[in-house]
Amino acid sequence: MNKFDPHGSDIQYLEDIATSYWNSEILFSAVELDIFEDIQEPMLLNKICKLYGCGEESMRRFLDVLVTMGLLTKYQDSYMNSQMSNTYLIKGKELYQGDSILWRKELKSQWDVLTETIRRGKRIHYIPQDDEQVLFERTKRYINAMDAVIKSKAKEIVSMFGNLELKGKILDVGAGSGAFSLEFIKRYSNISVTLLDLENVINLGKEKYKDVDSIKYHMANILEEWKVEGDYQVIILSNILHAYSEDEVEHILDEAVKNISNTGCLVIHDFFMEHSRLKAGLTDLNMMINTYNGKVFYGKWIGDKLTERGLNHSNLVPLEGDTGVVFASPSKTFIESLALNKIKVISQKIADFGFNNSVKINPQKEVFQTSIAPLKCEYGCGFYAKGTCQTEHIHIDKARQFISEFSVGILIEGEPPTKEFQISMLQIEKEAFKLGFYKAFILWAGPCSLCERCKGRETHCSKTRPSMESYGIDVFKTVREKGIKLKTLDNQDYVKYFGLLLLE
Ligand SMILES: C[S@@+](CC[C@H](N)C(=O)[O-])C[C@H]1O[C@@H](n2cnc3c(N)ncnc32)[C@H](O)[C@@H]1O
């Protein structure tokens, strides 16, 4: 589900939200029915129905929706898994997601109390006090679900250590299944790992990794003193801070700082309010329903707490999915040696500045030009030649040559007021420069609105930038080709502004 797009349809958006649980139900049923296990090879509808002992009509309607969702493919009367389903929905495959999907189903009924939780302003749902075996089985399902989610994210995060030769001890705090640490073990031979968690989870881990010598276990409550060996090269805090309050997180960070080596690194992987904002907000509500004090934090707040404790830290690095990671270390050199994807870092900065959307674009192939664009300035804009815009348009071929010198572009979507939009665009250009993109340059929207009275004619202005139109860019086509909705405006329509950050 995406945020409402004012250039989309209002009623349809509401209808789609109201029915979005239908999507989840279909996925839950498909996993429960083991559909993906059974049709790894093409199978005729009548054979599938025989297998399930059901009528053809209901099964065909169900399978056809799965095809529309991209979970299955269909050829004539045969159905088969899509490539995505074959990768993630077959039991036993490395990145199998079925456990996580069914765990979501288990949590579903707890959301029924959202309205009442908001009314009362506190948690009202509690896990039933079942017998030990039931609780143990539940913990197992929970841990398997976490395991499914973290595996691919851990790969992505460990790759950010680039060429750094890690050796020594790793402490995985609130480790769950330990799947995160396992990625370190796979990649580095000279490390040992301690998984820290509560008793029932530790027992599950011991069972799971009984053959892995480099894993040790430590039972502790992270809200108390951890009582670990200390001097760890890496301390992992993955998907744990959001279960606790500010004060509790401060205690957890104190313990982490106490136990990190001077050349070590703290890895904080979690949801952050600045990244994947809607999902972060939903997770925050999930914590309100299911925990005593849990909440999703801003990366900025976490960063400030790390700085207060004398640690250097990276920017928030968004991952491919809905979570992000912050690295912190007593050693500035360590943070500087990480192989962080700078495009991702600048994309996150763009979100931090409050822009509505940003999309990576290939300037050489995906920025379209039209000779009409400068004419629209000259004959369609009330500010033309009022001293606040470029009236001497660069020739379209020269503009093309300029744009082609950049290998990466980021289309940035904002909104009025124009002055604030343009100031933020300039700040983004500066942030990109500071990150090492020495050629960073922005093109923005509209006439320059930085100053009350433009002195551009009298003195050279270092702040103003050209608009995309003055460089002959067909903004409508460029934006729409990237899947962004942009309509021509009626009087009261919501206005979208676009700028282009060019990087090399
Ligand atoms: C959401 S899971 C995250 C597991 C793993 N780190 C990951 O990223 O997939 C949270 C883990 O923290 C553990 N945990 C929560 N509160 C804890 C506490 N007070 N002391 C120790 N472990 C705790 C839970 O048992 C669970 O295994």
- Distance set, CA 2 to CA 13, 174, 277, 357, 366 (Å): 9, 31, 10, 11, 24
pLDDT digits (tens, 9 = 90+) for 128-140: 777 888 888 888 9
Q: Which of 184, 228, 240, 268 to mutate to test the pocket of ligand 1 (most atoms within 8 A of CB)?
A: 240
The secondary structure element, H or E, covering residue 100 is: helix 98-108
Q: How far is the CA of 321 from the centre of ligand 1 (A)?
A: 20
Return the pLDDT at 445. 86
Measure the CA–CA gap between 290 and 283, rounded to whole angstroms.
Answer: 10
Region of residue 388 (phi > 0: left; psi between -120 and 50: alpha; otherwise: beta): alpha
Query: What's the confidence (pLDDT) of residue 25?
Result: 97
- Mean pLDDT taken over the chain: 92
The pLDDT tens digits for 309-324 are: 999 999 999 998 999 9
Going by CA atoms, what residue is nearest to atom 4 of ligand 1? 176
Instruction: Provide CB contacts within 8 A for 5, sequence distance 6+.
Output: 13, 485
Question: Which residues line ligand 1 at a C-beta cut-off of 6 Å?
Answer: 146, 150, 174-176, 180, 197-198, 201, 221-223, 238-240, 243
State the pLDDT at residue 335. Answer: 93
Question: CA-to-CA distance for 224 and 247, rounded, in angstroms?
Answer: 12
ipTM: 0.99
Ligand 1 atom closest to Cα of residue 175? 6
State yes or no: pLDDT of 64 exceeds 70: yes
Percent of the chain residues topping a pLDDT of 70: 97
Residue nearest to atom 20 of ligand 1 (CA): 221
> Does position 61 have pLDDT exceeding 90, yes or no?
yes
**For residue range 449-489, what is the model confidence (pLDDT) as tens digits?**
888 777 665 667 888 898 998 899 999 999 999 999 998 88
Closest residue (by CA) to atom 14 of ligand 1? 174
In 3D, which of 363, 332, 352, 375 has the Cα closest to residue 280? 352
Indicate the pairing of strand 260-270 with strand 232-238: parallel
pLDDT tops 90 at residue 447: no
DSSP class per residue in 32-80: HTTHHHHTSS-EEHHHHHHHHT--HHHHHHHHHHHHHTTSEEEETTEEE
Using CB atoms within 10 A of its CB, is residue 458 exposed (0-12), middle (13-18) or buried (19+)? exposed
pLDDT value, residue 481: 96
Q: Which two tokens stand for residue 27?
A: 């996925």
Extract the tokens encoding 432. Answer: 């990109």
Residue of the CA atom closest to atom 11 of ligand 1:
174
CB 442 within 8 A of CB 502: yes
Atom number of ligand 1 nearest to Cα 153: 8
3-state helix, strand, coil in the chain (%, to 5): 45, 15, 35
368 CA distance to ligand 1 centroid (A)? Answer: 49
| Ligand 1 atom closest to 236 (CA) | 6
Please give the number of the atom of ligand 1 that sits closest to the Cα of 174: 12
149, burial (CB in 10 Å: exposed 0-12, middle 13-18, buried 19+) = buried
Terminal CA-CA length for the chain: 33
Alpha helices in 396-465 (DSSP H): 396-404, 418-434
Domains of the chain as residue ranges with CATH? 10-93 (1.10.10.10), 132-340 (3.40.50.150), 349-503 (no CATH)
CA 179 to centroid of ligand 1, rounded, Å: 12
Element (H, E) at 215: strand 215-219
Q: Is the pLDDT of residue 4 over 90?
A: no
Quote the ligand 1 centre to 174 CA distance (angstroms).
Answer: 3
For 359-418, how does the pLDDT look when each residue is reduced to its tens digit (9 = 90+)? Answer: 999 999 999 999 898 888 888 888 887 766 766 667 889 999 999 999 999 999 999 999
Distance 100 CA to ligand 1 centre (A): 15
Compute, in angstroms, the gap from residue 345 CA to the centroid of ligand 1: 27
pLDDT tens digits for range 128-176:
777 888 888 888 999 999 988 999 999 999 999 988 889 999 999 999 9
CA 197 – ligand 1 centroid, Å: 6
For ligand 1, pick from 198, 199, 268, 271 the residue to mutate: most ligand atoms within 8 Å of CB: 198
* Distance in Å, CA 145 to ligand 1 centroid: 12
CA distance 77 to 487: 40
Return the ligand 1 atom nearest residue 240 CA: 10
Please state the three-class secondary structure of 352-396 as a single string: HCCCCEEEEECHHHHCCECCHHHHHHHHHCCCCCCCCCCCCCCCH
Give me the pLDDT at residue 456, please.
63
In DSSP terms, 313 is beta-bridged to 328
Q: Give nearest CA residue, ligand 1 atom 24.
A: 174
| Six-digit token string for 198 | 């509560």
Q: Which are the contacts of 181, defined by CB distance < 8 A and separation ≥ 6?
A: 170, 172, 175, 193, 195, 215, 236
Q: Give the model's confidence band at 69: pLDDT under 50 very low, under 70 low, under 90 confident, else very high.
A: very high
How confident is the model at residue 402, as a pLDDT?
93
Nearest CA to ligand 1 atom 26: 176
* Residue type (1 letter), 62: F
What does the pLDDT read at residue 341? 87
Distance CA 343, CA 276 (A): 16
- Residue pair 482/361 in contact (Cβ under 8 Å)? The answer is yes
Separation of alpha carbons 106 and 138, rounded Å: 10
Residue-wise pLDDT for 489-498, tens only, equals 877 678 999 9
Question: DSSP characters for 166-207?
Answer: --EEEEEET-TT-HHHHHHHHH-SSEEEEEEE-HHHHHHHHH
Q: What is the C-alpha R_g of the chain?
A: 27
The HSE-up count of residue 37 (CA atoms within 13 Å, CB side) is 12
Q: How far is CA 441 from CA 173, 437, 499, in A?
A: 42, 9, 11
CA–CA separation, 361 and 368 (whole Å): 11
**Which among 214, 17, 239 has a CA at the least distance from the CA of 148?**
239
Q: Give the pLDDT of residue 391.
A: 65
| CA 129–ligand 1 middle distance (angstroms) | 20
Could you tell me which residues come within 8 angstroms of residue 445 by beta carbon, excluding any fewer than 6 positions away? 418, 421, 467, 468, 469, 475, 497, 498, 499
- In which residue are the tokens 């020594």 written? 168
Provide the 8-state DSSP code for 329. E
User: What is the distance in A from the centroid of ligand 1 to the CA of 11?
Assistant: 41
- How far is ligand 1, taken at its centre, from the CA of residue 239, in Å? 7
